Structure 1
Amino acid sequence: MSMFGWAIVFLIISIVAAVLGFGWLAGTAAYAAKIVFVVGLILFVASLIFGRVRA
């Protein structure tokens, strides 16, 4: 599963937890989704830049 897939999984967990009333779990899962998404985005941009340099 890719980084963006994990971000979506954490986002879904946070939505379900928020609906069920688990605010602390929803906040933690949303924060994890944000971190995983940003890391995936940074790695994607870095691979684009370094891929262009090599080619």
Structure 2
Amino acid sequence: MLKHIKKAISVFLERLAKENEKAFGKAPLDCCRLNRSPATATAKRQTPGEP
């Protein structure tokens, strides 16, 4: 039973990886390539109260 679930999850993750590779390529994701400004990406990472 658990082996069947593990295999199903593994197959799903492999398909997901292939689709992501088609959409984004093999290079690391970069905010500039995703049409986001670096300031926006930095602002999202900071928690409230941080300088």
TM-score (norm 1): 0.44
Greater share of helix: 1
Structure whose alpha-carbon radius of gyration is higher: 2
